[in-house]
Structures are given as structure tokens and as C-alpha cells.
Structure 1
Amino acid sequence: MLKKIYLSFSLAVQNIRSRLFHTLLSILGIVIGVAALVTVLSLIDGMEKFAHDQITNTTSLKAVMIETRTYKRVNNVMLEKQDYGYIDFDRFKTFTGAMEIPATGYIEFRQNSEVLLTDSSKVGASVHGVNTIHPTVARIEAGRLFNADELAAKSPVAFVNAIFVKQATGQDSVQSMLGQTITYQDKRVEVIGVLKSEQMEMPKVYLPISLFAVTELKPVPPRVLFEVENVEQVQAFKKQAENWLKVEFPADTTDFAVITNEARVEQAARGFMLFRVVMGLIVGISVVVGGVGVMNVLLISVTERTVEIGVRKATGAKKKDILMQFLAESVTVSLLGSLLGLIVGILATLAIVPIIKALTDVPFQAAYTIDTFLIISVIAIIVGVVFGTYPATRAAKLDPVEAIRRE
């Protein structure tokens, strides 16, 4: 069987070489269709990779966030809850110790308020009660952050961002803020550090969350964030967190939302998959047109080689041998067209990407995945078989006597 297949493809290659120019013209449609498909799929894969990188840079895919729901839905109306569970600093420490999967935990209480300075002036700021801050945020410009000992001892210390310093002192010298005392509600704290600020960032003050009483946290419940070591651990950690919350807060399990950023990636992936399918179907029309060209060249080949077919059948060739020969030729022509289309498509993306970069000013790159090459290979085989079946069947059904008499 394998020998017959090899022989069929060898004859197919010989016949194609004998009419190479005619064959190249007939597969032009496939070349254009496959090139367009490769270009579109590569650009979409590049867009998906760019979107994934952007999501990863802005939100950690290894993060699990726990938020308190202070509202409930009744008859499609959102109503504020009078009582709800929330996580304070002591419960946060218990929470962290109960998790079997290692993770770095952050708890944050946030409220916009006025902060009193030593000269009795006030600065509007976003006040944060934290245990620590994420390394991506901890860009120290002067001084330092408070440490774990100061957090446990409820030390009256704080750090601010550079925008707060400018609002408070009217100057850019961050060193001038170090050692000063600021007051938030009844908490007088010493500024021990200054963070760098983004241009449009608001003034911020960070205090140890241990300074806040449990009752102070209830109006704006703290948000808890855990970051696991590997993305693969996110779902398992989320399940553990949900189980802990059910045990710790049995009265109402709807008080908390456990959120991961995987949903954003999945949503983006679904959007790109839809776009890929739609564009693939549109561009696929060109491939179908190319398949018609293959069928046309094979029908001409059957007409031109009628006597050859008759002689082969008269000398013992069976219908399936003739059928296999022309199907092999069809698949070979389709593979040749797809290969040329693949090369043209890759060259096209190499030319298009610099244009996209120049117009959009983003670090965009086309992506060539194994899926794209597999799709092209499958398309080539399907086109060859589908559009080669009729010419091959027609050749196989020729009567050998009638075929020879046509000479």
C-alpha cells in the first residue's frame, strides 16, 4: 500500500514538472489565498500576544483578590447591606497562616480624606492603611518604608508619594518632608519615606493598617490581595481562600468576592478567537477559488492524458490506481501552492509589521505559531482531496477501449 502511494506521488511530481508553468498559473489562486490566510492569522496571533503582555504588565495573573460586597441585589435593585463580614489585620494574619499554598499577602484600607500638616494647613489625599506595598509600587525616592516590627508595634509612622510632598510643601524637594508630622483623623504620624510618583497620580499617604481600629475599617472594608508563586496555583489557592471564608464567615457567604485576573485573559482570548474565525472564513473564500483552479487544471490533465489512462487500464491498472494517481497529483499541487503561499504570507507580514509600528508607535510583532502551519497543511490536503475527487473519479471511470480510440 505504501509503495503504491509513493508511486502515485512520484508520477504526480513528474506530471507537474512536465507542465510546470501551466501548474504554477493554476495554483495562483491557492498561493494568494494561503498567503492572505497566513498574514491574517500571524497578525492576529501577534495582536493576541501583545494584548496578553499588556494585561500581564498591568495586572498580575498570579493574583487572587478578596473584596467585601457591601451591596446586595434584591429584585434587580442594588441595596446597601447594614451588616457584612470583612477582614481586619488580625484576621488577615490568620488568613495568611491558614493557606497551604505559599503566597505573598497584601491588605489595604483606602479612603479619600484631608490630612493635617504641622502648620495647620490641609492636603486632600488618598489615605491607605497597608501591611506593605507591592514591589512594583515601592519605588523609593527618599527615606524608607515601615518594616514588619513597626507594623506589629503599631508605630506612628507613614510614607507618602512625591505628589503629596509637592502639594504639602509647594516644592519638589522630597527630603524636606522626611521627619515631619502629619495627622489623619486622630493619628499623628511621622513621615519616614517618600515614593516616586507618576505624572497624573494623586497625593497618597500610607500608614500601618495596624493603627486602625476594627470599627474604623467597616465603612470602607479593606481589600486583600494574594500573589502566588506560579500561575498554575491560582485556581487551587482561590478554592482554599473560598473554603476559609466559608468557615470564618458562615453567616453569609455572599459577603465576599474572590477575583482572579485569568478572566481578563480568557475574555481577550475569546475575542481574538472570534476575530480569527471570522477573518479566516472571509479569507478562506480565496482558498476555495484556488481549489477551483486546481480542479480545472486536473480536468484539463485528464482530457490531455486520456490515451495514457486507457493504456494503463488496458495493461492492468485498476480504477483505484488511477483514482489514487490523480488524487496524489491534486494533493501535491495543493501542497505546492500552500507552501508558496506560506512563504509569500511570511514575507508579507515582514513588510506589514514595520508599517503598523510606524503608524501606531507600539512594540507590535507578528507571531508565527505551530497552529498556523498546521492549519495551512490541513487546508492543503482538504483542498487537494475535495477538488481533486471529481477529476480523479472521471479519470478512473474512463473506458480503456474508448480512451485508446480517441487517439
Structure 2
Amino acid sequence: MLKKLLSSFALALHTVRTRLFHTLLSILGIVIGVGALVTVLSLIDGMEKFAKEQITTTTSLKAVMIETNTYKRVNDVMLKKQEYGYLNYDRFKKFSDAMAIPATGYIEFRKNSEVLLADSSRVGAGVVGVNTIHPAMVKLKAGRLFTTKELAAKTPVAFVNHAFAKQISGKDSAQNVLGQTIPYHNKALKVIGVLKPVPRERPEVYLPVSLLAEDELKADPPRVVFEVDEVEQVQAFKKDAELWLRTNVARDSTDFKVITNEGRVEQAAKGFLLFRVIMGLIVGISVIVGGIGVMNVLLISVTERTVEIGVRKAMGAKKRDILMQFLAESVTVSLFGSFLGLVLGVLATLGIVLIIKALTDVPFQAAYTLDTFLVITIVAIVIGIVFGTYPAMRAAKLNPVEAIRRE
């Protein structure tokens, strides 16, 4: 069987070579269709890769975020809950200690507030209650951050960002603001540090989250962020976190949302998959037109080789031998056209990428994946079989006596 199959493909290659120019003209449709398909798929793969890189550079895939849901849905109307579970500093410590999977976590309370200064002036600022500050933000210009000991002892200290320091004492703000006090809810917070300036920052004051009253925390529940050591541990940590919160803190099952950034990557992947399918179907129309060209080549071939088919059948060739020969020829022609289309698609993609880079500052690159090449190969084989079946069956059904008499 394998020997007959190889013989059929060898004969098909010989036929393509002897009628090369006619074959090239007839498969022009499939060349253009496959070229367009390669271009679209490689550009979409490049866009997906670029999107994933952007997501992973702006957020950590190892992060697990926990937020309190203070609303409930009743008859499709969102209503504020009267009672709900939330995390304060003590619960956060118990939560962190209870997690079996190692992770670094912090609790963060944010609220916009008006701060009254010693000279009776007022400054609008973001008040941020934390147990620690994210390492990416720790860029001190002067002073220091509060310690774990000060956090546990509820020491009234704070550090501020450069924008807040500038509001207090002008341009030369860092050293001048150290040691000053900031009144906040009957507490006099001593400024112990100033952060380095960052672009487009707004005034912010950072104080130990343990200083905040329960009514403040309940009104604006803090957010908790953990970062596990390995991406593979994210889902297991999420399940453990949901179980602990449901068992120890939550009033009902809707009190907490445990969010991971994997969901953003999955959403992007789904969007690109949908785009890939839609564009593939649109481009597939030209591939079908190319398949009709393949059928045309084979029908002409059957007509021109009627006598040859008759002689072969008279010499003992069976229907399946003739059928296999023409199907092999069809698949060969399709693969040949797809290969030319693949080359055309790669060249077109390289040209498009150069145009994109010339017009934008985006570091975009097309991506050539194994899936794309597998799709092209499968498309070529399917086209060869689908559009070659009718001409092959027509050739196989020829009566040998009638075929020879047409000479």
C-alpha cells in the first residue's frame, strides 16, 4: 500500500513538472489565499505576544489581589451591604500566617482626604495606610520608612511623597519636611521620610495601617496583595485564600473577590483567538477559490489523459489505483501552491512589520509559530482531498474501452 502511495506521488510530481506553467497559473488563487492566511496568522500571533509582554511588564502574573465587595445584587439592582467581612491589620497577619504556600503580602488602605497643617492651611491628599510599601515604590529621597516594630506599636509616624512635601515647604522640600507633624483624625503624625519624585504624582501620605480606626476600614475596606514565588502556585494560593476568608472573615460568600492577573492574559488570549478565527474565515474565501483552481487543473488533466487512463485500466489498474493517482496529484498541487503561498506570506509579513515600525514607535514583531505552519499544511491537504475527489472519481469511473476509442 505504501509503495503504491509513493508511486502515485512520484507520478503526480512528474505531471506537475511537465505542465508547470499551466499549473502555476491555475494555483495562483491558492498561492494568494495561503499567503494572506500566513500573513494574518503571523501578525495576530505577533499582536498576542506583544499584548502578553505588555501585561506582564505592567503587572505581575504571580500576584493575587483580595478586595472586599461592599455591594450585593437584589433583582438586578446593586445595593450597599449593611454588614460584610473585611481585613484589618490583625486579620491580615493571621491570614498571612495561615497560608501554606510562601508569599510576600501587603495590606493597603487608600482614601482621599483633606489634611490640616500646623499653619492652618489645608492640603488635599491621598491617605494611604500600609503595613509595608511595594518594593518598586521604595525610592527614598530623605529619611526612612516606618519599621515593623512601629507598625505593631501603632506609633504615629508617616512618610510622604515628593508632591506632598512640595505642598508643605516648596522646592527644597525633602529635608525641611522631616520632623514636621501632620494632624490626621486626632493623631499627630511625625514625618520620618520623603520619597523620590515620580512623573504625574499627586500628594500622598503613608501611615501605618494599624493606626486606622475600625470605622474607617469598614467604610473603605483595604486591599490585600500577595505575590507567590512561582506562577504555577497562583491557583493553589487563590483556592487556599478563598477557603480561609470564607471560613474566618466573610459574612457571606460574596464578601471577597480574589483576583489574579492570569485572568487578564486569558481574556486577551480569548480576544485574539476570536479575531484569529474571524480573519481566518474571511481569508479562507480566497483559499476556497484557490481550491476551485486545483479542481480545474485536475478536470483538464482528466480530459487530456483520457486515453492514458483507459490504457492503464485495460492493463489491470483498478479504480482505487486511478483514484489514488489523481488524489495524490491533487494533494501535490495543493502542497506546492501552499508552499509558494507560505513564502509569499512570510515576505509580505516582513514588509508589513517594516511599515509598522516606520510609522509607529511600537517594538512589534510578527510571530511564526508551529501552529501556523501546521494549519497551512492541513489546509493544503484538505483542499487537495476535497477539491480533488470529484476529478479523481470521474477518472476512476471511465470505461477503458470508451477511453481508448477517444484516440
> Normalised by the shorter chain, which TM-score bucket?
over 0.9
Cα deviation for residue 338 of structure 1 reads: 0.8
- The correspondence of residues 13-24 of structure 1 with structure 2, limited to 5 A, is 13-24=13-24
Q: Does 1:74 align with 2:81?
A: no
**2:341 aligned partner, one-letter code:** G
Cα deviation for residue 273 of structure 1 reads: 1.4
- Unaligned 5+ segments in structure 1 are none
Q: Does 1:219 align with 2:219?
A: yes
Task: Give, in whole Å, the separation in 2 of the partners of 1:121 and 1:93.
Answer: 37
Native 8 Å contact 2:84 2:251 kept in 1: no
What do residues 177-207 of structure 1 show as CA deviations (whole Å, max 9, x unaligned)?
A: 3333323222222323322344322111111
Aligned counterpart, 1:184: 184
Moved more, 147-156 or 347-356: 147-156
Task: Give, in whole Å, the separation in 2 of the partners of 1:128 and 1:250.
Answer: 24
Q: Does 1:60 align with 2:37?
A: no
What secondary structure sits across from 2:84 in the alignment?
coil
What do residues 16-48 of structure 1 show as CA deviations (whole Å, max 9, x unaligned)?
A: 111111111111111100010111111111112
Aligned counterpart, 2:342: 342
Relative distance call for 1:388 and 1:152 in structure 2 (3 A) is same
Cα deviation for residue 395 of structure 1 reads: 1.2
Task: Give, in whole Å, the separation in 2 of the partners of 1:375 and 1:76.
Answer: 44
**1:95 aligned partner, one-letter code:** F
- The correspondence of residues 3-402 of structure 1 with structure 2, limited to 5 A, is 3-171=3-171, 173-249=173-249, 251-402=251-402
- Unaligned 5+ segments in structure 2 are none
Task: Give, in whole Å, the separation in 2 of the partners of 1:204 and 1:250.
Answer: 30
**2:237 aligned partner, one-letter code:** F
Task: Give, in whole Å, the separation in 1 of the partners of 2:180 and 2:211.
Answer: 18
Native 8 Å contact 1:245 1:253 kept in 2: no
**2:156 aligned partner, one-letter code:** P
State the TM-score, normalizing by the size of structure 1: 0.95
Task: Give, in whole Å, the separation in 2 of the partners of 1:147 and 1:302.
Answer: 87
Aligned residues: 407
State the TM-score, normalizing by the size of structure 2: 0.95
Relative distance call for 1:250 and 1:36 in structure 2 (3 A) is closer
Relative distance call for 1:120 and 1:298 in structure 2 (3 A) is same
Task: Give, in whole Å, the separation in 2 of the partners of 1:186 and 1:258.
Answer: 34
Native 8 Å contact 1:162 1:197 kept in 2: yes
**1:63 aligned partner, one-letter code:** A
Native 8 Å contact 2:250 2:256 kept in 1: no
Aligned counterpart, 1:403: 403
Task: Give, in whole Å, the separation in 1 of the partners of 2:105 and 2:151.
Answer: 14
RMSD (CA atoms):
1.8
Moved more, 350-359 or 39-48: 350-359
What secondary structure sits across from 1:93 in the alignment?
helix
**2:249 aligned partner, one-letter code:** F
**1:202 aligned partner, one-letter code:** R
Relative distance call for 1:196 and 1:343 in structure 2 (3 A) is farther
What secondary structure sits across from 2:128 in the alignment?
strand
Task: Give, in whole Å, the separation in 1 of the partners of 2:388 and 2:108.
Answer: 67
Moved more, 37-46 or 134-143: 134-143
Task: Give, in whole Å, the separation in 1 of the partners of 2:175 and 2:13.
Answer: 79
Moved more, 197-206 or 166-175: 166-175
Moved more, 270-279 or 226-235: 226-235
Cα deviation for residue 82 of structure 1 reads: 2.3
Task: Give, in whole Å, the separation in 2 of the partners of 1:22 and 1:255.
Answer: 71
Native 8 Å contact 2:63 2:227 kept in 1: yes
What do residues 67-104 of structure 1 show as CA deviations (whole Å, max 9, x unaligned)?
A: 12222222322222222221110110000011111111
